[in-house]
Structure 1
Amino acid sequence: MTYTKLGDTGLDVSRLCLGCMNFGSGEPWMMNDRDASVDLIHEALDLGINFLDTANVYSTGESEEIVGDAVASANRDELVLATKVYWDMFDGPNGSGLSRKHILDQVEASLDRLDTDYIDLYQIHRWDDDTPIEETLAALDHLVETGRVRYIGASTMTAYQFTKALYTSDIEDYERFACMQPEYNAVDRHEEANLLEVCAGEDVGVIPWSPLAGGFLTGKYDRDDDTEEGYRAETDEYTRNRFTEENWAVLDEIRAIADERGVTPAQVSLAWPLHRDVVDAPIIGPGSSEHLRENVAALGLDLTDEEMTRIEAPKTPRWPAPGKD
């Protein structure tokens, strides 16, 4: 395993972050097996991954509980535990959002489920139009000051919103977002025209979600074939929306490079964001030991400039991306 600093912080994180949304029973495509989930986390730790990302909303807290169980015997000082807040946790007033009340209530619930005294990286899962950013940042700053949280981060918003948050922190002397979690992969490159320029200019770490585009970039789908029974695309519109001619052209190049190199399309697809200077640690979401080890092996794949260009040529990054505005 190799490690890097998260943005301009001194925090050491593995070059791959283990995404923990699969660990739970909220959807049919999740692992739906607590013991197997714990075993997979243990295997990731044994491979040197020290960075785990979950959220309170994943299976309504079940993912956090599984992570807490899995890391109970690990060296906490080496681990970087990340979770998120924003989405609905219960019906009724104050059940979601980024108000001071919701944040302070939910961080305590996350700490309990993770069975830890502090969260290394606490992230806002989305932007909240109904709460002033000053209120949100003041609450997050309080969590850092009181030791419940070490660093704060954000996910998935416009460049204007993120820039406003950073500058508000600077003006009000609040804790600054240390990282951004955007959707980013070889077929979803819209953030190159939105958030990534801000992150590069402001020395903010980048931990992309869905680096394999919901499984599309693993190469297990074909243009003319029906989706195989049990694949995520059977039930997940997110993956089916990747089935466009431009995206198939990108996948064609990835498959060709994989054949030339004697590796898998998933490994080429993960190597692509790892070769982008702005990216610190893509968030992988393996559902098996085989997939985990395949993902980790991508760290040893050194793509050439020519191969990077081949992968990128079919797409022109645009914001907002079609279907995402």
Structure 2
Amino acid sequence: MEETLRALDDLQRQGKILYPAVSNWAAWQITKALGISAKEQLARFELIQPMYNLVKRQAEVKILPMAASEQIGVITYSPLGAGLLTGKYGVNKRPEHGRIVDEARYGDRYGADEDFVTAEQFTKYAQKHDVKPATLAVAWVMANPAVTAPIIGARNLNQLEDSLAAADFKLTPEMYSEISRLSRTPTPATDRGEVLTGKWS
């Protein structure tokens, strides 16, 4: 890790990068890197890129609180869960083609029965509020105060427009809570009674 951080510091000093960043590291790895950077006076990570969406919320346990505490930018990826949260999937509903159907790694990542239950409930919620599921999925990710911005992708213009519409969608705190209840909240990092806000539950 020290060698990697020094190499990134060299790249910044040479003007080849603006800021060091990291993707898919655990919170303990990032905090260890921050400590090494501080001790050795090296350029520190200013941005992290974790996976985060309604069915993959593990980042809420340690990564997002750590980023907020250390004032690190968070650019999340896969806000649509490889298409799971676009309205194409449900308990007994699959498209003819799609990453979850066609690619084993996505099928493994998003293949749990509860994921399809969440996807179906989420689609119904979006329909009830007259909004495209993709728009709502991206808006939900954006609503987390620790998230700087989500990374979006699209195979066509319509998909792109649905995701971009999240920037103008007004997601209320009530809607955020209701959507969050559609999937399993990750187990807290400790067995004590504090929640992520620092208040007692």
Q: What range is the shorter-chain TM-score in? A: 0.7 to 0.9
Q: Which whole-Å CA distance do the structure 2 matches of 1:247 and 1:307 have between them?
A: 20
Structure 2 residue 100 is the aligned partner of structure 1 residue 233? yes
Q: What is the Cα deviation at residue 251 of structure 1?
A: 2.4
If each structure's strand is expressed as a fraction of its own residues, which one has the higher value?
1
C-alpha spacing 1:246/1:307, structure 2 compared with 1 (3 Å): farther
- Gaps of at least 5 residues in structure 1 are 1-132, 321-325
Question: 1:53-132 maps to which residues of 2 (within 5 A)?
Answer: none
TM (normalized to structure 1)?
Answer: 0.54
- Gaps of at least 5 residues in structure 2 are 190-201
Aligned counterpart for 1:315 among listed residues 181, 184, 195? 184
Residue in 1 aligned with 2:11? 143
Residue in 2 aligned with 1:284? 152
One-letter amino acid of the structure 1 residue matched with residue 185 of structure 2: T
Structure 2 residue 25 is the aligned partner of structure 1 residue 157? yes
Residue in 2 aligned with 1:205? 73
Q: Which whole-Å CA distance do the structure 2 matches of 1:221 and 1:311 have between them?
A: 17
% same residue: 36
Aligned counterpart for 2:46 among listed residues 143, 168, 178? 178
SS at match of 1:214: coil
TM (normalized to structure 2)?
Answer: 0.86
**Contact persistence 2:89–2:120 (CA under 8 A):** no
Q: What is the Cα deviation at residue 305 of structure 1?
A: 1.7
**Contact persistence 1:187–1:315 (CA under 8 A):** yes
SS at match of 1:154: strand
Residue in 2 aligned with 1:221? 89
If each structure's helix is expressed as a fraction of its own residues, which one has the higher value?
2
Q: What is the Cα deviation at residue 236 of structure 1?
A: 1.6
Q: Which whole-Å CA distance do the structure 2 matches of 1:196 and 1:142 have between them?
A: 28
Count of residue pairs brought into register by the alignment? 187
RMSD (Å) for aligned C-alpha atoms:
1.8
Runs of 4+ in 1 over 4 A off after TM superposition: none
Q: What is the Cα deviation at residue 319 of structure 1?
A: 8.1
Q: Which whole-Å CA distance do the structure 2 matches of 1:257 and 1:312 have between them?
A: 11
**Contact persistence 1:250–1:311 (CA under 8 A):** no
C-alpha spacing 1:247/1:311, structure 2 compared with 1 (3 Å): farther
Q: Which whole-Å CA distance do the structure 1 matches of 2:67 and 2:134 have between them?
A: 26
